[in-house]
Every structure is written in structure tokens, then in C-alpha cells.
Amino acid sequence: MEKNIQQIQKAYGSVPIKKEDALLYHSKFPSGKIEVVSTKAVSTQRDLSLAYSPGVAEPCLEIAADPTKVFDYTIKGNLVAVLTNGTAVLGLGNIGPEASKPVMEGKGVLFKKFADINVFDLEINASTPDEFVMIAKSLEPTFGGINLEDIKAPECFEIERRLREEMKIPVMHDDQHGTAIISSAALINALILADKKIEEVKIVISGAGAAAISCTRLYLSLGAKLENVVMLDINGVLTIDREDLDETRKYFATTRTELKTLKDALIGADVFVGLSAGNIMNADMVRSMANDPIVFAMANPNPEIPYDVAAEARPDVIVATGRSDFPNQVNNVLGFPYIFRGALDVRATTINEEMKIAAVYALASLARESVPEVVNLAYAQKNLSFGREYLIPKPLDPRLIYVVSTAVAKAAMDSGVAQKIIPDLHVYQEQLRIRLGMNEGVLRSVTNKAKKDPKRVVFAEADTYKILKAVEIVVAEKIAIPILLGNRKKIESIIEDHHLEIGNAQIIDILEPEMEETKQRYSQILFEKRKRKGITLHEANKRMRDRNYFGAVMVEIGEADALISGLTKTYPTTIRPALEVIGKKSPIVAGMYIIQTKKGPYFFADTTINKNPGVEELVEIAALTIDSVKHFNIEPRVAMLSYSNFGSNYDPETEVIIKATQLLQERFPTLAIDGDIQANIALRPDLVEENYPFSQLRKEGANTLIFPNLMSGNISYKLMMELAGTEAIGPILLGMKKPVHILQLGSSVREIINMVAIAVMDAQFSQAENK
């Protein structure tokens, strides 16, 4: 048993776990890994009367009159049973229901973590299919779906078949279909790389158990031909002359009776799918396969052939395993959370073939898209991209929830098994993002605007990996038309080293001899702008060797629409050229951050430029921020922040805020603007209504927060990022004549992309205003 545990650790994770650490993890108070938490307030007597007697009688009566209302008043629509009898647990075998409970709790954790689905794990004493089915059927009133887990074959086939036939909620045996769905997605992409067609390839299946049969059936649904499939069990190739096969396995028996062993079957084969036992395949067998062979060695805890052995056998092999310490892990967590999420959200009566195939194609397609930086960071990768070592998405890819779940929900509706129709799948996707704390509605709106009319964005630091990775995504999503300033050789080297695809993006190396004439022209423009401010033509020529000056002139004369810089230089160094060349459209410039929270976006200003603004400066900061917030199609509700509430502490500092508030209210009479006000009060309309009913913020809390000085604003947004786990988008530079945005030192790729989208939107508005 101890050896089995060590093998399981190797199969399921590359991080070694000590026995005492695992036991302490599970036994530390409170024991186990899950708990029940109330979703409603239960702090007062009235709360308790609503939660239980007498208030609970009302929803009971509603449901009694209309059973479908159970989804409106209870958790059923988001509750799945993880159901097992403990007869085939991991690689531990038949260890019984009690011993299987830690695994089932873990499955529940994965459901919650990845799809926000609640789970009750149920470990039952049921040794026969009849007993199991009877218990499972009795649970239908309680659960929205049932995930069957770790049930030995062949009983699992009958149990799942009968439950699907006799129940009207989704039922899926993940051990069968999870592996089938994930490996099918990997197979589709491997065939693309090998330039082969699924209906033509010869497939060898090692194993004839639940997972192997389910995989083979799904491959057939995707287009594979039964006559091209050779399946093996412990006794060798399943052939039509064998008399020891049951009806299920007879279906897969081949007419090629000369084939006896795995070695025989693999000669000339295109695909090997292993769901049997470890180390039964060797390098010579891999070499005997067809060109660009596909080897999915998925046995646990040890694969049929180690990844490195298969990879070394021949350079053209494409390998996947069930292990996390090698590329292309066929991991069921890529499937079951999102399949059930989509099924529950349309109240599907089953999980049918159409829904599984939809999940397959969604996963395969997602792997061919550009990989978000958050995934690269999670797996300590520089730049994951579709290829032989990246066939399927990684489990921590945040896109899975809304890509796979949406595909499954749509397939359920299209195939007629959905009892609830989702009218707008785009809205549904946004709801899924919000559900897992990925509320990106504002940013998505900006990105969509940018895509409708992409503008030319010049990147002053294009010879850095982060900028070029961001450019790759910007090009792929058609957000902007990039212009790259930097050392040409360095740019081309980074692109080649990291396999980046930037399309036909223009590269400008201002130190190349052919750029001298352009630099002279740009220098003259800078000189004319600054000749009465101490700059000579010679000095202008020197400054034009700085890409920030060069890029600023491009934007000023219309050869680019927006400038992005600041990744490798300080804020003052980066903004100075833009101020000298492009200039301000308002008396001051200011910096704003968008703080993304589960409650929606909040806008913070000034966070980057004005240290101690006076009354007029504070008014201009607020006015610029109001104008910018409106560009996001959001009505600003402005709080002029202080440590005082409406004059409760009157001193020179609060006097500035009070006077600025009065001027702003006169300037924007239709907007909710108030102050001076403390931050917590500004965000709580209930407290405003209770204590300051005269305030304009009593109906809705503020979403636009104007800080009294730079120190408070800068500290606040950084605290929000670190302590509250929010995402800050910015700094967004306000008040420039043309779009210029200064990145923070060391900005992430995601932050750069966000700023590009905002820069494009700003350019669209700027050009519209100048028409």
C-alpha cells in the first residue's frame, strides 16, 4: 500500500508529499476539507425565523404547488452529489466507502474551486448495481446532478446506464467520460500537428476497462473508424476468434486475427492510447509506429511508457500522459467542473453525446489560442503556445469556466435536453467570469470598442519580452495596430526565441542609418515646439535618439495614434517627453486607476502626479476623472474623500475639499457629487441614508473616489491590490491632448494589454472630438 501511495504522488503531482504532512493537512481542526456555510445572514432572531421556522414554510408551500420552484428557493440548481462505493479508488483499489471519503471531499473542493459548484460527498455501502442504483435514484429530489466516482468495472457501466435512463438530472461517471473528453481534445490537436485525419488513422487502445471503452466510443463519435481500431486487454488483442469476451468487448474485436500482442498491433499504427498498466511499451515499439506517432500513455500511477523514453525514441513523437511533471497532462479537472456547470445552468436532464463533444472541441480550440500571462506565471513558463508540448489547456487557465461551460450549455439547448434556455450566451459568459471573481465587464467593454476600430499604437520599449508578448495578443485579438520601436536584432531574437507571432507589425530601429532623415525631420518639429523653452536644434537632435521623444512626435504629427511606454523607465522620465511634445489639453494632467472588484469597478484619482492639489486643481482632477469614467459608459458617482464627514472636522485641509465639492456640484449639477466624506461612508449608501440623508450619495454608493492628495491616493490603490486581492488597471493618464499612457515599472503582460485597449479607446474619442 505504501508503494502505491508513492506511485500515486508521482502520477498526480511533481511535488513530493510526506505522510505526516498529508495526515496533518486533513486532521487539522476542522477535520476534512469542506464545510457548510450559510449564504444568508443568521445573526438576529428575525434572520433565524426566516431561515427556519416559521418563515421557511413559505418556500415549502411554493415548491409543493410547483416543484420546479425548488430551483428558485433552494441550492438544488447548484448542488452535485459525488457518489461512490469505494470499490476502485485511485490506484488503491477496493478500500471501501469510509476510506474513499478524503478523495470524494477533494473532488468536492475541485468542483467548488473551478466552477463554484457545491458538493455533498456521499460514500455508500452498496456492493451490487441494484443497491447502488436504488440509493442514487432516491437522491434525485435533493441534487441537481450526480458525479459517479471510483466505481469498479464492469458494474460502473450498468450503474451509469441505468441512472441515465431512469433519472431526469445529469449523471456522469467521470472516470469513464472525463478521460475520454480530455484525451479526445488532445487527440484532435495532435492530429492537426501530425497533419492526419481522424477517419484515416490507425488507433491502438491498450486496455479494455471503463475508461478505455469510453475513450474509444468518443473517438468513434469524432470520426474514427471502428475497422481502424485495435483494442487489447490483459490477454492480448481483442479479436473476433476469442471466446472469452463479453458483449461490450466483442463490439471492439478486430477481424485481424493475426495480431496477438501490443508489439504486433503497434507496427504502422498512428495512435497509441494507453489505459492499462505501467511500462508495457518500449522505445522499439514507438519506433515501429507510423510517421509523427501519437502516444497517449495515460495509465496511473505509472504510464505505459515514460514520457522521456518515448520522446527520446524518435523526434517526431507527440506524447501525453496522466502526470503533472511532464507536458500534456490528461487531467479530468479540465472537464468535469465545467461540464456540470453548463449542464446545471440549463437544468439539463442528462449529459449526452452532443454535450461531451462540445466540451471536446471547446478544449481543443482553447489550446490553439494565445495563452494568458496568468497561466504562464502559474506554471513558471515563459510562453506556452500550441504545439507538441502544449496540446490541451492547463488546469489553472481561467478561461475554462466560460469557454467549456458555455459550449456544453449551448449543446444541451441545441440537442433538446435543456429545461432552461439561456437567451444570451455572451451575457452568460460574463456571469461565469463574475461568479469566479473575474468581473471584467468594464475592461471587456473597452476591448470590444478597441476591436471595432483599432488604432496605431507605438511601443517605445518593444525590445522587451513582455511588450512583445503583449503585442502578440494584441495582434491576435485585433485590438490595435502595433508599431515597435527598439533594437531590430533584439526584437527579432526575442520573437524567434519565444516563438511569438506578431503578424506584420512594423519595426522601427531609430539607430539604423536609414532613419537619420526621419530623425532630422522629427528633431525640427521638437525644436519648433521648444525653441523658446531652452532647447536648441542640437539638443533636439540628441533627444530624438530617445524613443520616448521619437514616439511622442509620431503621435503628435499623426503617424501613430497613441503611445505606450514606461515598462523599463521611471514615471517622470517617461512622461516628460510626452508633455514637451504633445502637451496638455487641460490646466493639469492626472493619473487614474480602475479598481476591479466583485461589486464592480471603482475609479481612483489622482494616484500618480499631483502631490498636494489646491481647490482649482482638485476640481480639475475630478472633472478629468468624470469625463474618463463616462467613456466607460458608466455614470460617475463622485466622493471627495477626507477624514471628515461634511465639515465634522473643519481645518485648512478639509476646507479645500469642501470648496472643491461646491464648485464641482455647480459644474456638474446632474451628477451625484458629495464631500467632504470618509471613504467607508461614501461606499455605504445605507450609512449615508441613516446619518446624512441630505447627501447626494444616499441612494447609491460612490464609484469615483477623488483623493485629497497624491500620498493618500497612491497608498490606497496599492493597499487594495495587496490586501483586497483586487486588480488595478492603470495608471490612466488624463488631460493630454493625445493618448499617452505610462506603464508602471515591471507591468505584467495583462496590464500592458489593458493599457493598449484603453489607449485605443482614447484615440477613438480624441479623433472623434477633433472631427
Strands 590-597, 727-734: parallel, antiparallel or unpaired by DSSP?
antiparallel
Written as nine digits, the cell of 537 is: 536644434
Task: Say how far residue 223 (Cα) sits from the centre of its chain.
Answer: 30
Q: How far apart are CA 717 and CA 641, in angstroms?
A: 14
Closest CA to 131 of 150, 153, 155: 155
Which of 19, 40, 69, 107 is an active site residue? 107
Q: How far apart are CA 65 and CA 694, in angstroms?
A: 46
Closest CA to 133 of 108, 99, 158: 158
Say which residues have a Cβ less than 8 Å from residue 694's Cβ, sequence separation at least 6.
none
Q: Which residues of 351-384 are buried (b: 16+ CB within 10 A; e: fewer)?
A: bbebbbbbbbbbbbebbebbbbbebbeeeeeebb
Residue with cell 522629427: 522
Which of 3, 19, 25, 52 is an active site residue? 52
Q: How far apart are CA 80 and CA 98, in angstroms?
A: 19
Helices (H), 537-614: 537-543, 547-556, 571-581
Q: How far apart are CA 144 and CA 77, in angstroms?
A: 5
Active site residue 361: no
Give 445's Cβ-side CA count (13 Å radius).
11
Written as nine digits, the cell of 454 is: 483599432
Active site residue 52: yes
Task: Say how far residue 680 (Cα) sits from the centre of its chain.
Answer: 31
User: What contacts 24+ positions apart, CB below 8 Å, involve 438-445?
Assistant: 438/398, 438/401, 439/596, 439/597, 439/598, 439/600, 439/601, 440/596, 441/600, 441/601, 442/594, 442/596, 442/600, 442/601, 442/632, 442/634, 443/594, 443/596, 443/729, 443/754, 443/757, 445/632, 445/633
User: What are φ and ψ of residue 52, in 5° steps?
Assistant: -130, -140
Written as nine digits, the cell of 134 is: 436504488
**Contact in structure between 709 and 604 (CB atoms under 8 Å):** no
User: What are φ and ψ of residue 563, in 5° steps?
Assistant: -120, 135
Q: How far apart are CA 621 and CA 677, in angstroms?
A: 17
Eight-state DSSP code of residue 5 = H
Q: What is the DSSP string of 398-430?
A: TTHHHHHHHHHHHHHHHTT--SS--S-HHHHHH
Catalytic positions = 52, 107
